[in-house]
């Protein structure tokens, strides 16, 4: 019977420890997989140098991170949500409804989005218009709106290499997709004059934008719902493909990938910081002010994250591929004052 | 198969066979051909699965073997008092204000010193190449040692530091001079420098225990990442599963099998248990998130929640196998026990249960092995996280954040640095070894205690 006794006492111990859930002593972070590597780098250095435990960083995407963030205030909710896009109004409303009112928005820097093909392939010099003409469902030919039938890049633009069009673009659940549509496809639509043609053909402004951003569905544009490692694997198996990557991912895999220029500018932390390279987006994280002072090390972690030694142009984040924010000083001040979003 | 009575005489079918018994007629030939075809199908099926298994294991083993070896550089580091203890009072609290970034500079100087001491000269070698030679983990290593023993400041101490992931990859054949040419994180000059240092015996690749004991590391230092936290997290979870699912599962099956009346209700319960065994495991994750985290208020990323979720998942497996084991005990044992005056409970606990034990143990171990390899339910309860601190000892550690082996694999396959692919395969090898041990234990228990009637 001693085994029964043991089991019963073990159960009792577990139940007791479960009910007396100890106060959480580490910061919990969740959200965007684009911000994840930066977050883990900072968490690691933070844990090394401070007397606080290393924050626990989860990934899962901006949307699910913000959803968790907005679940409420308290120790079993997360403290920080990483986001590769600003918080949406609907998300803000959910937050408010659940009592998460004072939120600090911290912009950590910028992330470039690059187009890269297998390193054995030819060099590409794109313009946003090329991408629009290659991937949009409807294009304008000789003043007429027609279905897109381009099969090779040189049909889109004679200067591009003769290679079949096959693009691996981020799936719709990724924040990167939105940036790709807005800064590349839509920009290309306007640049090529297709936007005007759409409006001239009887669409209103919104419908024309919609038409610009509707991508062809004949298998030339492939949505990748996984992460960049999946895109890389797809390019390795079909060398004619061109993938959309984050700058930091590309910089870690320059031996396998060859990056294309956009409007003659090749992507780098410098060209993105100066604004010459057009396709970039800010990265954020959101902090629950109500948790500052409750969760040990939360404010210290946030301050540490935006410190010059970390997020500045010479810090480890920049080295990993983050384009540091020229207005970092303002962010530091906002963090120090615990300024919340309006 | 039809069970024709064997005693049926051939004469019962008169006129069927006319020729010699030794000459095969068409019908027999067809039957024999069908049998040999079936055997062939069987052999082909086995061959296909064996090939798949061999290819899988070969890929994982060749890919993951590198994770168990790591390159280290032995360098004497002069711990500059001016940098590391600006106030000069050797007070660890004040010295803790010096960040690892400063230690990085001390280490850079140490690497420069080592290169100069050996008189290595490589054309086109840049300062960045030299600084990138050693891992960032090294500065944390030196800082920890200095803070633990402030008297070291001002002395020159030998350190065995990790080298960067690309250099390590070079010694493992993952990075070549060709790829380094195109790689923005290394250069052929840097690899030549590493080769020179290796030729002089300063840089060695050796067995990497740290892979088993270290915690996870960020994208910038794949060379320091290990599965320590994941192993501990998996062990804690298995402990919770064992402690909860075995008593509950065995008690439930004994009751259902031996005591419960056979009626509608028990039928429904039985059908539901069988159904639960087939429910996709992610469903248990959703349930766990709602019940244990949102309702019961247990912490996220904690092994206790993972253990509870996996318990739910394992229970049906254990109940089904335990009931099968109890059913396999011949009724004569029960009848004999009852016949000599034992109570129902005595007959079960003294006679039936010991005889069913091997089957129950096997079922439990297989259930545990299944739980050990499960990823999907853990995704939802925050176990797929970057956890660098080890959980405490038991029982408090059950509430601390931890990772688990399968989610560590999942996590590493998503990292951008190619060195993590090797780590992921290494973690798979560790997981496979655990599973192999558990299955061997199950087989051994079955062999050791099995009774035949």
For the four alpha carbons of B389, A40, B239 and B400, in that order, the dihedral sign comes to positive
Residues paired with residue A106 on neighbouring β-strands, in sequence order: A285
Nearest residue in A to B178, CA atom:
A255
Interface probe, candidates B92, B101, B386, chain A, greatest A C-beta count within 10 A: B386
Q: In the prediction, which pLDDT does B311 show?
A: 94
What is the dihedral sign for C-alpha B411, A249, A63, A309?
A: positive
Supply the angle between the helices B303-328 and B281-288 in degrees, to the nearest 10. Answer: 130
What one-character-per-residue DSSP string does B79-147 give? Answer: --HHHH-TTSS--HHHHTTS-HHHHHHHHHHHHHHHHHHHT---TT--HHHHHTTB-THHHHHHHHHHH
Token look-up 């993590």 returns: B420
> Mean pLDDT across the stretch A293-309?
91
CA–CA distance, B165 with B390 (Å, rounded to integer): 23
For A90, the token pair is 């609907």
Task: Kindly state the average pLDDT of the residues A91-115.
Answer: 91
Contact list in B for residue A79 (CB cut-off 8 A) is none
Is the domain of B192 the same as that of B284? Answer: no
Could you give the angle at which helices B405-413 and B419-449 cross, rounded to 10 degrees? 160
Radius of gyration of chain B (CA): 32
Do B265 and B173 belong together in one domain?
A: no
Dmax (CA) of chain A: 89
pLDDT of residue B78: 87
Q: Give the model's pLDDT for residue B452.
A: 67
Average pLDDT over residues A289-303: 91
B309 interaction partners in chain A (CB closer than 8 Å) = none
Residues 6+ apart with CB under 8 A from B202: B73, B74, B75, B114, B118
Do B236 and B90 fall within a single domain? no
Q: What's the pLDDT band for A19 if we cut at 50, 70, 90?
A: very low
Above 50 in pLDDT, residue B227?
yes
B86 has pLDDT over 90 = no
Indicate whether B311 belongs to any domain.
yes
Lowest mean pLDDT among A107-111, A171-175, A243-247, B361-365: A171-175
Spatial CB neighbours of A206, under 8 Å, sequence gap ≥ 6: none
Note the pLDDT of residue B249. Answer: 94
Is residue A186 within 8 Å of A212, Cβ to Cβ?
A: yes
pLDDT at residue B432 greater than cutoff 90: yes
Which of B179, B247, B416 is the closest to A7 by Cβ?
A: B247
CB B299 within 8 A of CB B399: yes
Parallel, antiparallel or unpaired: strands A80-83 and A28-31: parallel
CATH number at residue B287: 1.10.3720.10
* B172/B302 same-domain check: no
Q: In this structure, what DSSP letter does residue A159 have?
A: T
Count of domains for chain B: 2
d(CA B296, CA B298): 6
CA distance A193 to chain B (A): 38
Same domain, B274 and B131: no
Residue where one domain finishes, among candidates B154, B179, B208:
B208
Our CA-based measurement puts residue B143 at a distance from the nearest CA of chain A, in whole angstroms, of 9
Given this model, what pLDDT does residue B201 score?
87
d(CA B400, CA A10): 18
Please give the share of chain A, as a percent, with pLDDT higher than 90.
Answer: 25
Q: Give the distance from residue B185's alpha carbon to the nearest chain A alpha carbon, in angstroms.
A: 7
What is the pTM assigned to this prediction? 0.85
How near does any CA of chain A get to the CA of B377, in Å? 14
Residue ending a domain, choose from B208, B240, B261: B208
Q: pLDDT digits over B375-416, tens only?
A: 889 988 888 889 988 988 888 888 888 999 999 999 898 888
The range of the structural domain enclosing residue B157 comes to 69-208
- Spatial distance between the Cα atoms of A22 and B276, rounded to a whole number of angstroms: 33
**Cα end-to-end span (Å), chain A:** 64
User: Is the pLDDT assigned to residue B10 strictly greater than 50?
Assistant: no
Judgement on whether residues B159 and B257 belong to the same structural domain of the protein:
no
Kindly report which listed range (A9-13, B325-329, B441-445) carries the lowest average pLDDT score: A9-13
CB A103 within 8 A of CB A130: no
- pLDDT band of residue B41 (cuts 50, 70, 90) is very high
Using alpha carbons only, give the angle A261, A262, A265 rounded to the nearest 5 degrees.
65
Q: Which residue of A has its CA nearest to B97?
A: A49
Facing A56 at nearest CB: one of B143, B175, B301 = B301
For the segment B110-156, what is each residue's pLDDT rounded down to a tens digit?
A: 888 888 888 888 888 888 888 888 888 888 888 888 888 888 888 88
B21: in domain: no
Of B218, B246, B301, the CB nearest to A40: B218
**pLDDT class for A1, splitting at 50, 70, 90?**
very low
- Confidence class for position A20, pLDDT limits 50, 70, 90: very low
Residues of B in contact with A252 (CB under 8 A): 185, 219, 416-418
- C-alpha span between B180 and B418 (Å, rounded): 13
Cβ–Cβ below 8 Å for A22 and B101: no
Look over chain B and give the mean of its residue pLDDT values, rounded to a whole number: 88
Residue A12 has pLDDT above 60, yes or no: no
- Give the number of other CB atoms < 10 A from CB of residue B186: 26
How would residue B241 be classed by pLDDT, with cut points 50, 70 and 90?
very high
Same domain, B286 and B199: no
Task: Answer yes or no: is pLDDT of B35 > 70.
Answer: yes
Looking at every residue in chain A, the average pLDDT score rounds to 86
Taking CB atoms and an 8 Å limit, are B218 and A227 in contact across chains?
no
B239 & B204 share domain: no
Q: Mapping DSSP to helix (H, G, I), strand (E, B) and coil, where does residue B327 land?
A: helix
Interface test with B, best of A29, A50, A58 (most B CBs within 10 A): A58
Please choose, from the candidates A123, A89, A82, A95, the residue with its C-alpha nearest in 3D space to the C-alpha of residue A287: A82
Backbone angles phi, psi at A264, to 5 degrees: 85, 0
Q: Which of A73, A255, A256 to mutate to test the interface with B (most CBs of B within 10 A)?
A: A255
In a domain, B63, yes or no: no
B284 with B203, same domain: the answer is no
* pLDDT attached to residue B213: 92
Tell whether the torsion through CA atoms of B114, A45, A327 and A112 is positive or negative.
positive
Assigned token pair, A298: 């939360």
Same domain for B248 and B368, yes or no, is yes
In a domain, B46, yes or no: no
In tens, the pLDDT along A113-123 reads 999 999 888 89
Output B252 or A23, whichever has higher pLDDT: B252
pLDDT of residue A79: 92
DSSP A193: T
Q: Are strands A167-170 and A138-141 parallel, antiparallel or unpaired?
A: unpaired
Residue A21: pLDDT band by 50, 70, 90 thresholds?
A: very low
Say if residues A123 and A293 touch (Cβ distance below 8 Å): no
State both tokens at B121.
């000269």
Model confidence at A8: pLDDT above 80: no
* B179 and B232 inside one domain: no
The domain boundary residue, chosen from B208, B236, B268: B208
A252 with B301: Cβ contact below 8 A:
no
B26 domain-assigned: no
Residues A62-92: pLDDT tens digits? 888 898 899 888 888 899 999 988 888 999 9
Rounded Cα distance between A335 and A80, Å, is 13
A129, pLDDT greater than 50: yes
Beta bridge partners of B415: none
Answer yes or no: do B304 and B268 share one domain: yes
CA neighbor of B283 nearest in space, from B249, B301, B309, B307: B309
Interface with A, mutate which of B286, B388, B389 (most A CBs under 10 A):
B388
In angstroms, the separation between the Cα of residue A201 and the nearest Cα of chain B is 45
Measured CA to CA, the distance from residue B402 to residue B231 in angstroms comes to 9
Partnered with residue B73 across adjacent β-strands are B161, B203
Contact B301 A28 (CB under 8 A): yes
Residue B126, sorted as left (phi over 0), alpha (psi -120 to 50) or beta, turns out to be beta
In a domain, B216, yes or no: no
DSSP-assigned beta bridge partners for residue A56: A28
Chain B residues near residue A53 by CB distance under 8 angstroms: 389
Beta bridge partners of residue B161, listed in sequence order? B73
ipTM: 0.83
Peptide bond before residue B395 is cis, with ω within 30 degrees of 0: yes
Tell me the C-alpha distance between B374 and B382, whole Å: 14
Q: Is A54 helix (H, G, I), strand (E, B) or coil?
A: coil
Structure tokens at A236: 């390795």
Sorted by where each starts, the structural domains of chain A and their CATH numbers stand as 23-111+281-336 (3.40.190.10), 112-280 (3.40.190.10)
Q: Where are the alpha helices (DSSP H) in A20-160?
A: 36-49, 62-69, 89-97, 128-135, 153-156
Distance CA A220, CA A164 (A): 9
* Token couple for A119: 């390193």
Give B340's DSSP letter.
Answer: T
The pLDDT value given to residue B453: 61
Interatomic CA distance for residues B204 and B199, integer angstroms: 9
CA dihedral B140, B145, B147, B149 (to 10 degrees): -170
DSSP output for B137-151? HHHHHHHHHHHH-GG
Q: Is residue B50 part of a domain?
A: no
Task: Please check whether residue B443 lies inside any domain of the structure.
Answer: yes
Query: Which chain B residue has its CA at the smallest distance from A226's CA?
Result: B414
Residue A6 above 60 pLDDT?
Answer: no
For residue B166 the two structure tokens come to 């690309």
Mean pLDDT computed over A245-271: 89
């Amino acid at each position: 019977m001693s085994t029964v006794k043991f089991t019963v006492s073990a159960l009792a111990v577990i139940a007791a420890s479960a009910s007396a859930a100890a106060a959480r002593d580490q910061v919990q972070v969740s959200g965007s997989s684009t911000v994840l590597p930066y977050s883990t780098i900072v968490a690691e250095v933070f844990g090394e140098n401070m007397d606080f435990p290393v924050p626990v960083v989860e990934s899962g995407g901006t949307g699910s991170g913000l959803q968790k963030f907005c679940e409420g205030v308290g120790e079993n909710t997360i403290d920080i949500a990483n986001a590769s896009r600003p918080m949406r109004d609907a998300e803000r409303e959910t937050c408010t409804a659940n009592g998460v009112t004072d939120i600090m928005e911290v912009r950590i820097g910028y992330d470039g989005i690059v187009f890269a093909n297998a390193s054995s392939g030819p060099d590409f010099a794109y313009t946003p218009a090329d991408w629009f003409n290659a991937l949009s469902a409807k294009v304008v030919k000789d003043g007429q709106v027609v279905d897109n039938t381009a099969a090779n890049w040189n049909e889109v633009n004679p200067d591009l290499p003769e290679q079949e069009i096959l693009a691996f673009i981020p799936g719709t659940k990724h924040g990167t997709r939105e940036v790709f549509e807005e800064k590349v496809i839509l920009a290309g639509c306007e640049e090529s004059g297709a936007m005007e043609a759409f409006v001239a053909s009887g669409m209103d402004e919104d419908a024309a934008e919609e038409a610009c951003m509707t991508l062809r569905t004949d298998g030339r544009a492939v949505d990748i719902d996984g992460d960049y490692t999946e895109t890389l694997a797809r390019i390795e198996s079909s060398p004619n493909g061109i993938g959309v990557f984050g700058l930091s991912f590309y910089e870690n895999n320059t031996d396998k990938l060859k990056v294309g220029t956009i409007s003659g500018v090749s992507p780098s932390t410098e060209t993105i910081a100066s604004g010459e390279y057009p396709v970039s987006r800010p990265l954020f994280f959101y902090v629950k002010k109500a948790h500052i002072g409750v969760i040990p090390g939360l404010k210290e972690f946030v301050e540490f994250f935006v410190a010059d030694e970390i997020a500045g142009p010479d810090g480890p984040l920049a080295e990993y591929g983050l384009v540091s924010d020229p207005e970092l000083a303002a962010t530091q001040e906002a963090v120090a004052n615990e300024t919340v979003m309006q | 198969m039809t069970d024709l009575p064997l005693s049926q005489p051939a004469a019962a079918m008169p006129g069927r066979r006319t020729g010699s018994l030794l000459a095969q007629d068409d019908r027999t030939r067809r039957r024999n051909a069908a049998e040999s075809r079936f055997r062939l199908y069987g052999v082909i099926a086995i061959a296909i699965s064996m090939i798949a298994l061999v290819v899988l294991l070969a890929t994982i083993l060749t890919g993951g073997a590198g994770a168990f070896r790591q390159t280290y550089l032995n360098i004497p580091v002069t711990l500059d008092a001016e940098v590391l203890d600006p106030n000069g009072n050797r007070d660890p609290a004040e010295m803790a204000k010096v960040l690892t970034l400063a230690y990085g500079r001390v280490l850079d100087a140490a690497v420069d010193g080592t290169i100069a001491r050996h008189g290595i000269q490589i054309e086109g070698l840049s300062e960045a190449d030299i600084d990138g030679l050693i891992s960032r983990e090294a500065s944390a290593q030196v800082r920890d040692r200095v803070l633990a023993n402030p008297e070291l400041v001002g002395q020159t101490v030998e350190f065995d530091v990790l080298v960067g992931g690309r250099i390590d990859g070079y010694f493992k054949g993952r990075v070549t001079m060709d790829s380094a040419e195109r790689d923005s994180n290394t250069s052929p000059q840097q690899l030549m420098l590493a080769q020179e240092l290796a030729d002089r015996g300063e840089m060695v690749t050796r067995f990497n225990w740290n892979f088993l004991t270290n915690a996870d590391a960020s994208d910038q230092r794949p060379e320091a990442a290990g599965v320590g936290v994941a192993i501990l997290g998996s062990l804690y979870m298995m402990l919770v599963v064992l402690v909860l699912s075995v008593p509950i599962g065995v008690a439930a099956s004994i009751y259902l099998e031996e005591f419960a009346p056979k009626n509608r209700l028990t039928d429904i319960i039985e059908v539901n248990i069988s159904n639960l065994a087939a429910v996709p495991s992610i469903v248990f994750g959703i349930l766990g998130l709602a019940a244990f985290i949102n309702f019961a208020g247990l912490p996220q990323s904690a092994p206790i929640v993972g253990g509870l979720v996996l318990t739910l998942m394992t229970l049906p497996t254990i109940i089904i196998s335990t009931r099968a084991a109890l059913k396999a005990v011949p009724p004569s044992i029960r009848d004999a026990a009852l016949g000599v005056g034992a109570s129902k409970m005595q007959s079960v606990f003294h006679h039936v249960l010991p005889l069913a034990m091997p089957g129950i143990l096997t079922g439990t171990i297989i259930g545990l092995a299944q739980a050990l390899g499960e990823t999907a339910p853990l995704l939802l309860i925050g176990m797929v996280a970057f956890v660098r601190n080890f959980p405490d000892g038991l029982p408090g550690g059950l509430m601390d954040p931890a990772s688990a082996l399968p989610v560590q694999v999942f996590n590493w396959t998503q990292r951008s640095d190619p060195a993590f692919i090797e780590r992921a395969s290494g973690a798979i090898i560790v997981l496979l070894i655990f599973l192999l041990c558990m299955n061997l234990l199950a087989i051994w228990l079955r062999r050791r205690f099995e009774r035949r009637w």
